[in-house]
Amino acid sequence: MKLLFRNIVALFFGVLIGMIITMGITMLGWKIFSFPENINPIIDIMPSKYYLFPFLAHSIGTFSGSFLGCKISKDYNLTVSLFVGIWFLIVGIYAVLILPTPIWFIIIDITLCYIPMAYSAWLIQKNRLKLNR
């Protein structure tokens, strides 16, 4: 029961920290690439430079959330890491469905940002565990 509670806490904090990091990187992108006067980011398809920070935010947010969730989990559980990745995948699919997004970004975002980042965070934690033994 204690292990289950710890894994639920790990999942919660992994998602929470991942969302905070994702939003922080996205807001940083808005500061660096401010939108021109004639573009409405909700209606118009934006130039490709505006997709760099959302890609980085989705990747780094998922990776960091999965990394933290895996670290909090007592046994460096792959399930916790993948659940964080699946959470971000579901939110990412929802986002590309409601926002006008080019197909090339949808493909790159969905295939590279979520499950691969969660899996790589788990691999790093697993390898760190082996090195510490």
What's the whole-model pTM score?
Answer: 0.87
71: Cβ contacts below 8 Å, ≥ 6 apart = 10, 125
- pLDDT by residue (tens digit) across 51-92? 899 999 999 999 999 999 999 987 778 899 999 999 999 999
The pLDDT assigned to 3 comes to 83
Per the CB < 8 A criterion, the answer to whether 74 and 108 are in contact is no
Q: What is the DSSP letter of 37?
A: T
- pLDDT by residue (tens digit) across 111-122? 999 999 999 999
Mean pLDDT taken over the chain:
88
Confidence band of 39 (pLDDT split at 50, 70, 90): low
Q: Report the number of distinct structural domains present in the chain.
A: 1
Q: Which domain holds residue 122?
A: 2-35+43-132
Q: Write down the H helix ranges in 1-133.
A: 2-32, 52-72, 78-98, 103-112, 115-132
CA 63 to chain centre: 6
